Structure 1
C-alpha cells in the first residue's frame, strides 16, 4: 500500500491544481467560444452539445473503461493518482460552472486569442498533472502508457488523440472554429511538454581540443562548473583524446565560447539543448567563490 507522506500529499495537491486550471480553461474559454477539445473532454463537449449532458458526469462515466486499462499497465500507485485526477477534473468541470468568473472573460470576438489562451492554460494544467505522476483520465491515460512503454512525449501523443476526436467534432463545428481548435491543441502539446519536462532549459557543451586540460581548468576557475572527461577516438586518425562535457545556463554560453576560443581557436564545440538539469548550480545552491578563483 502506498504510504501517505508529505511528498505524496504535495503531489496530490499539484495534480488537483493542474485539474483546476485545465477545467477552468474548458469552462471559461473553450465552451463559451465554441472551441472543441480532444480526448474524453472533446467527447464530453459532443455529448453536451447534442444532448445537454453535464460534462463532469459524462467525463466521469467515460473514464471507467480507461481506468481499467490503466490498472493493467500503470500499477496501483499511478492508477490511484489517475483516479484522483479524474475525480478532480470532474469536480472542477462542475464547480467552475457555478462561479461567475467564467462570464467575466469575454473572448468571443477574438477566436485567435481564445485559442492561444485555451491552449496555454490547458497545457499548464495538464503539464502539472503529468509532472507530478498523475493524469486527468481519458486520453491522458493513453498518453501516460505511451510515454512509459514507448518513450513517446505525452504532448505529442495527446495531440494525435485530440485530432481523431476533433475530426468527429466537425459534425457540429464549422471549419473556422475547427482550425482555431487545432491551434489550441498544438499550443497545449508544446506548453504541456515544457511544464512536464521543466521550463528551465540548460545547454550541454561538448568540447574536443588538444588543450583540453587548460580548457577544463579555466571552466573550473572562471565558471565554477563541474565537467566530465569522456574517452573518445577520432574517426579519421584513430587517435584517442578526451572530450569535455559541461552543462551551463543559457546566459553562460557566450562566456564559455569565448573561454574556449582563447585557449584553442581550433577546438571543436557542439552545443545541445538540455531540457532539465538537476544538481549543483541548477536545483540547489551553487558553490560561491571569488570572481576568479573558487574557495
Structure 2
C-alpha cells in the first residue's frame, strides 16, 4: 500500500513537472517567436493572437467539455491524471507569463534555433507526462474516444487534429513560420519518444547457426550475458533448430559479432533496435560493459 502511494505521488509530481516544462516552452519560445502548435495548445495560441485571451484560461475552458465528453471512456485513474495534468498546464501557461525571463528570450532573428528549443523543451515536458501515465487533456481525449468507438488509429487522429489547427493558423502566420513549426514538431516527437521510452536504447540479436551451442556458451562465458532459445523452423528446409535471442547495449555489438564470427562465420544474425530494456543488467545491478571480449 505504501509502495503504491509513493508511486502515485511520484507520478503526480512528474506530470506536474512535465506540464511546467511544456508550458514554459509555449510561453517562452513558441508565442514570442510566432511558432504555433497542434491540438488545444495551437488553438490557445490562435486565441491569444486574435483576442488576447490568456493561454492558461483558454486551455482550461477548452478542456472542460472534452473531459466531460471523455468521462465514460476513461478509467478513474486516467481521468484523475488527465484533470491533474490539465489544471497544471493551465496554471503554468498563466504563471510563466508573469516571469520576466519570458521577454528576454525573443529568438525571432533565428527561427531555426527557436524551432529546436521549442521542440526540445516541449518533447521533454510531454515525454515526462506520458512516461508517468498522464495526459495534458485536449486531443489526447479525442484520440481515446475515436480509438474506442471507431477503431481509428491514435496516430491518424492526432495527425488530423494537428493538421486542422495548423491550417487554421495560416490565418495569422505565413508559410515560413508554419514550416518551422513542423521542424519543431518533428524534434518534439523524437525527444518525447526518447524521454517516454527510456534514456537509452538497447539492441536485440537473433542468431541462427548450426553451432548455436558453442555460440551460446561463449556468450555466457565471455560476455556474461543471459540469452534465450526460441524454437524455429526453416521456411525452405523445414528443419527445426533453436534461435538464440539476447539483448545487449549498443557498444557491445562489435564484441558479439566477433564472438559469433569466431564460432561460425556463416551464422545468420539479425540486429534489432530495442527502445527500452528492463530487468537485470539494464535497470539494476548492471553488468560491466565490455569494450573487448574477455579472454
The answer to whether the superposition gives a TM-score over 0.5 is yes
- The alignment's C-alpha RMSD in Å is 2.4
Q: CA-to-partner distance for each residue in 1:160-209, whole Å, 9 max, x for gaps?
A: 43222010100111111111111111221222122112231000000000
TM-score, normalising length: structure 1:
0.92
Task: State the partner residue of 1:86.
Answer: 86
Task: State the partner residue of 1:11.
Answer: 11
Shift of 1:265: 0.3
Unaligned runs of 5+ in 1: none
Structure 1 contact 198–275 (Cα < 8 Å) conserved: yes
Secondary structure in 1 matching 2:271: strand
Task: State the partner residue of 2:268.
Answer: 268
Shift of 1:151: 9.8
Task: State the partner residue of 1:246.
Answer: 246
Inter-partner Cα distance in structure 2 for 1:101 and 1:144 = 36
Q: 1:202 to 1:242 in 2, by over 3 A?
A: same
Inter-partner Cα distance in structure 2 for 1:93 and 1:107 = 19
Greater alpha carbon shift after TM alignment, 71-80 vs 13-22: 71-80
Inter-partner Cα distance in structure 2 for 1:256 and 1:90 = 50
Structure 1 contact 162–185 (Cα < 8 Å) conserved: no
Q: Counterparts in 2 of 1:1-295, with a 5 A limit?
A: 5-143=5-143, 158-286=158-286, 292=294
Inter-partner Cα distance in structure 1 for 2:147 and 2:128 = 16
Shift of 1:132: 0.4
Inter-partner Cα distance in structure 2 for 1:147 and 1:226 = 38
Shift of 1:146: 6.9
Shift of 1:152: 5.4
Shift of 1:68: 2.1
Structure 1 contact 159–185 (Cα < 8 Å) conserved: no
Greater alpha carbon shift after TM alignment, 65-74 vs 219-228: 65-74
Inter-partner Cα distance in structure 2 for 1:50 and 1:219 = 64
